[in-house]
């Protein structure tokens, strides 16, 4: 199970170690076993990474976009070729079942690099007719961009941020979550092998203090964070105090609304995907499942039946559908929320236990859990749990459910299941969320922008929109006649 990388950091095209940094133990969440030992970045490592990025960026920005894209495209191909190995690393680092990592992690990273490799050449400024004179705008890179990742989708987050940033001509320094430091290093090696010049993609490890040092450094032009709302507020504040660009991809408590005319089997499938995938550790999860009252009981009984059939266990077994949570503290947090749900009067319809799995006695497992009879004031309906805990809430009318769905500080995502497409579009038009699904849940193709409203975030990832967030506009006015001067 040893997946020790050659060194902790990757700077200027090579692995770098500095044992002066505090020790970072990497734990396999299914067994609690240590699988690698790294060091957090010292101030010297942070300097080296940012300096390498600054030095490399200018020449990279002068390449034609198609030339930059060609390198990213090669990296996408390498990610796909090595999907099996990368998925294994991701499973060991996160505990997510191999069944998921094989299709959702390096594969999604490859999709992103492939998309931005092509899209960037067509992402141009505009011509502005000024009736004789004219203007045009140029899309210019920001310079050195910093990415800070959460632990649920490590390689996907690294690629969703670095792909568009590099395509636009920026250099990048990425700090993974200290819980999942491994796959970003593999991505760095792949970039180098694909022909990315040294210094353009650097990885430094560490805790929040390393993230903060990267954000506040004078060389840094922008930070893109994926993390919780409290961390987002800190990082956004820090970026603001240094007048840096910032994108915040934060947490949520998203509503998933099931109307009485919905295809119930599809709605149940969507609700399960939106609560149990990655053991519920997905930012956009639809953790408040509103079900119209006259189909509520039928919905719940099939949901419970299907939830009980989920296979939990060894994440490396391809038949296993659910693995453990990330770590001990996340496990304790989720179990506390389950206790809160019970004590606040919700009905535990299934799950709720921390099972001991044979051979995985020290793993951080929690059963897929469904609460019914949940009301809007309960903590399990208001706070992000980030675990496999679904709350089912009954509702009567469309107006009522829209009001209740929007009654939250968050606004990351929302879903609607209905066969009435007019209603589907009408309802998503009123939902305060950055990403909405009609008759689906949690699909995030790279072509479609992704991000949050309200406290769930600022800026967007993916789609052409993200290229705007990794560039700045320069306006150019061109005179075609004489200068009209009063002097």
Q: Give me the least distance between CB of 410 and ligand NDP, in Å please.
A: 9
Catalytic residue among 100, 189, 249, 367: 249
Please say which residue, 222 or 296, places its beta carbon nearer to ligand NDP: 222
What is the number of alpha carbons within 13 Å of residue 18 lying toward its C-beta? Answer: 19
Please say which residue, 34 or 130, places its beta carbon nearer to ligand NDP: 34
Please say which residue, 159 or 300, places its beta carbon nearer to ligand NDP: 159
- Which residue of this chain has its Cβ atom nearest to ligand NDP in the complex? 211
Residue 129 annotated as binding? Answer: no
Please say which residue, 12 or 226, places its beta carbon nearer to ligand NDP: 226
d(CA 14, CA 452): 35
Catalytic residue among 96, 114, 161, 222: 161
Q: Give me the least distance between CB of 452 and ligand NDP, in Å please.
A: 6
Q: Give me the least distance between CB of 74 and ligand NDP, in Å please.
A: 27
161 labelled catalytic = yes
β-sheet bridge partners, residue 246: 223
Catalytic residue among 253, 283, 367, 436: 283
Please say which residue, 235 or 346, places its beta carbon nearer to ligand NDP: 235
The answer to whether the CB of 167 falls within 8 A of the CB of 116 is yes
Per-residue b/e over 342-367, b at no fewer than 16 CB within 10 Å? eeeebeebbbbebeebeebeebbbbb
What DSSP designation does 356 have? Answer: P
Residue 177 annotated as binding? Answer: yes
What DSSP designation does 322 have? Answer: B
Residue 438 annotated as binding? Answer: no
Please say which residue, 283 or 325, places its beta carbon nearer to ligand NDP: 283
Q: Give me the least distance between CB of 296 and ligand NDP, in Å please.
A: 27
Task: Write the DSSP assignment of 330-354 as a string of letters.
Answer: HHHHHHHHHHHHHHTT-EEEE----
Least Cα distance to 86 among 112, 111, 104, 113 occurs for 104
Output the six-digit token pair for 71: 């390198």
* Interacting residues of 379 by C-beta distance below 8 A, sequence separation 6+: 337, 340, 341, 344
Residue 151 annotated as binding? Answer: yes
Output the six-digit token pair for 335: 């179990």
Least Cα distance to 405 among 253, 247, 181 occurs for 253
Q: Decide: residue 92, CB within 10 A, 0-12 exposed, 13-18 middle, 19+ buried.
A: buried
Q: Give me the least distance between CB of 154 and ligand NDP, in Å please.
A: 10
Strand locations in 314-448 (E): 347-350, 369-372, 389-395, 413-417, 435-438
Q: Give me the least distance between CB of 105 and ligand NDP, in Å please.
A: 12
Least Cα distance to 96 among 305, 293, 279, 259 occurs for 279
436 labelled catalytic = no
120: left (phi over 0), alpha (psi -120 to 50) or beta: alpha
In this structure, the strands spanning 435-438 and 389-395 are unpaired
Please say which residue, 231 or 350, places its beta carbon nearer to ligand NDP: 231
Q: Give me the least distance between CB of 485 and ligand NDP, in Å please.
A: 51
Residue 176 annotated as binding? Answer: yes
First to last CA, the chain: 79
What is the number of alpha carbons within 13 Å of residue 11 lying toward its C-beta? Answer: 21
Please say which residue, 105 or 384, places its beta carbon nearer to ligand NDP: 384
Q: Which residues bind ligand NDP (CB under 6 A)?
A: 148-152, 175, 177-178, 207-208, 211-212, 215, 225-228, 231, 234-235, 249-251, 283, 384, 386, 412, 452, 457
Per-residue b/e over 265-292, b at no fewer than 16 CB within 10 Å? eebbbbbbbbbbbbbbbbbbbbbbbbbb
Q: Give me the least distance between CB of 399 and ligand NDP, in Å please.
A: 28
Helix, strand or coil, per DSSP, at residue 216: helix
Least Cα distance to 363 among 26, 63, 95, 49 occurs for 95
Residue ranges at the known binding site for K(+): 27, 93, 454, 457
Residue ranges at the known binding site: 27, 93, 149-151, 175-178, 251, 283, 384, 454, 457
Residue ranges at the known binding site for NAD(+): 149-151, 175-178, 251, 283, 384
Point out the residues that are catalytic.
161, 249, 283, 461
């Amino acid at each position: 199970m040893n997946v020790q990388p050659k060194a902790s950091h990757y700077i200027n095209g090579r692995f770098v170690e500095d044992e002066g940094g505090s020790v970072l133990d990497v734990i396999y969440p299914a067994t609690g076993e240590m699988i690698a030992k790294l060091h957090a970045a010292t101030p010297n490592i942070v300097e080296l990474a940012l300096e390498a990025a600054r030095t490399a960026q200018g020449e990279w920005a002068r390449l034609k976009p198609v030339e930059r894209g060609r390198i990213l495209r090669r990296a996408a191909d390498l990610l796909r070729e090595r999907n099996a190995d990368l998925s294994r690393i991701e499973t060991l680092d996160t505990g997510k079942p191999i069944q998921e990592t094989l299709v959702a992690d390096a594969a999604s990273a490859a999709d992103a690099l492939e998309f931005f490799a092509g899209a960037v050449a067509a992402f141009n400024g505009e011509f502005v007719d000024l009736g004789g004179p004219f203007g045009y705008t140029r899309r210019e890179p920001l310079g050195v961009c910093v990415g800070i990742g959460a632990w649920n989708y490590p390689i996907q987050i690294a690629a969703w941020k670095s792909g568009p940033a590099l395509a636009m001509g920026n250099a990048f320094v990425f700090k993974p979550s200290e819980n999942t430091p491994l796959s970003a290093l593999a991505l760095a090696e792949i970039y180098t092998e694909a022909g990315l010049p040294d210094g353009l993609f650097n990885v430094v490890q560490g805790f929040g203090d390393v993230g903060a040092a990267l954000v506040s450094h004078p060389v840094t032009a922008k930070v893109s964070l994926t993390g919780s709302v409290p961390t987002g507020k800190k990082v956004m504040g820090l970026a603001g105090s240094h007048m840096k660009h910032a994108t915040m991809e934060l947490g949520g408590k998203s509503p998933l609304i099931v109307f009485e005319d919905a295809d119930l089997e599809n709605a149940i499938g969507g609700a399960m995907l939106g609560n149990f995938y990655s053991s519920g550790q997905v930012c956009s999860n639809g953790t408040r499942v509103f079900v119209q009252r006259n189909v509520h009981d039928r919905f719940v009984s099939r949901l419970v039946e299907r939830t009980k059939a989920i296979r939990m266990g060894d994440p490396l077994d391809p038949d296993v559908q659910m693995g453990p949570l990330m770590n001990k503290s996340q496990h304790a947090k989720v179990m506390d929320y389950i206790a809160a749900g019970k004590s606040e009067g919700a009905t535990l319809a299934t799950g709720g236990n921390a099972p001991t799995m044979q051979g995985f006695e020290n793993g951080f497992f929690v059963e897929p859990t469904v609460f019914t009879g949940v009301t809007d004031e309960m903590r399990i309906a208001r706070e992000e749990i980030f675990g496999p805990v679904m709350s089912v809430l009954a509702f009567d009318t469309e107006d009522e459910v829209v009001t209740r769905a929007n009654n939250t500080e968050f606004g990351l995502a929302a879903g609607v299941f209905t066969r009435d497409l007019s209603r589907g579009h009408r309802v998503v038009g009123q939902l305060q969320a950055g990403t909405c699904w009609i008759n689906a849940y949690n699909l995030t193709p790279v072509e479609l922008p992704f991000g949050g409203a309200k406290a769930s975030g600022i800026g967007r990832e993916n789609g052409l929109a993200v290229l705007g967030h990794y560039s700045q506009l320069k306006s150019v006015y061109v005179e075609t006649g004489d200068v009209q001067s009063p002097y």
